Amino acid sequence: MTTAATVELTYRSDAALLIAYATNIARGQLSVDIDQRLPAGAPIQLKLVTPASSIAVGAVVTRPRGDPAETTQNGHDGPRPRTRTRTNETTVAVTPRSDGFGDAIDKLAFGFKGLKALVAASQAAPRALLIRYLRSIVTCEVVEIDQRRLAEPGAIGNVDLGVIDLDSSGTLGYELYARLREHREAGSAPVLAVAQLERDRARAASLGFDETLSNPPTFGDLQAATLRVLAKPLSARVV
């Protein structure tokens, strides 16, 4: 079957691609943000790229860019009625029967040794909670940043994810975020902010934090946000 287009999804690492596979691709559906509108039913090829790997898999467009999508939100009294909103994302149904796809994923999984996550909080109790949650969500080595290390320029290193407690870290938390973004290796890593006050979460969002959560976050909220940001490709484009 002739493909209508090839969509290249670039991931930060093999680990990020594995998480995208586990959370989206393996379930048979994936939403991607691309500029070009592809028609419903069009067969395409997804090219999944990391600095070390390139894997191809077939897919079919199920909802073109700009078409309305149904969403359901939960209220205090249960699920609310479905709403239809237009989105810039294109939804595709993945066909993982493509030759060699399963073997390529198995090879990545065999070599997976875990992520490296940075957790910054001045106080020991909130830091321990975040670390406990993260280690329950994904295999990871944790770099702990306490009050003493917050101001150390060399405390970052190359990490795959950052979680910063803005309540206990104060202005040093924002400075750490800026240093993360400027870091040569960790600059593209997603960073989550946790804060009690809405104004602090709004400030974090305006500065570019990938997600903001209440403090302390629930396990479910942190799990969903962590998997969402880790599975998101750095870029998506038609090639």
For 33, list phi and psi in degrees, rounded to 5: -100, 100
* List of residues 6+ apart from 50 with CB closer than 8 A: 10, 11, 12, 13, 14, 16, 17
How far, in Å, CA of 35 to CA of 158, rounded?
A: 31
CATH number at residue 33: 2.40.10.220
pLDDT at 218: 95
pLDDT at 156: 65
Q: Are residues 139 and 191 in the same domain?
A: yes
Q: Are residues 96 and 132 in the same domain?
A: no
pLDDT at 83: 43
Closest CA to 125 of 171, 161, 168, 164: 168
CATH number at residue 182: 3.40.50.2300
How far, in Å, CA of 87 to CA of 63, rounded?
A: 10
Q: Are residues 124 and 226 in the same domain?
A: yes
Q: Are residues 126 and 82 in the same domain?
A: no
Measured CA distances, 106 to 162, 209, 235 (Å): 27, 32, 24
Local confidence pLDDT in tens for the 239 residues of the chain = 577 789 999 998 888 899 888 888 877 878 888 888 888 888 888 899 998 889 888 888 888 877 665 544 555 555 555 444 445 678 888 775 556 888 888 888 888 888 889 999 888 899 999 999 999 999 888 888 876 765 565 656 678 899 999 998 878 888 888 888 877 565 578 999 999 999 999 999 999 999 999 999 999 999 999 999 998 888 888 88
Whether residue 163 is contained in a domain is answered as: yes
Please tell me the total count of domains within the chain: 2
Whether residue 239 is contained in a domain is answered as: no
Q: Are residues 134 and 202 in the same domain?
A: yes
Whether residue 236 is contained in a domain is answered as: no
Q: Which residue range(s) make up the domain with 94? A: 5-111
Residue recorded with tokens 């073997």: 103
Question: Is pTM beyond 0.85 here?
Answer: no
pLDDT at 85: 44
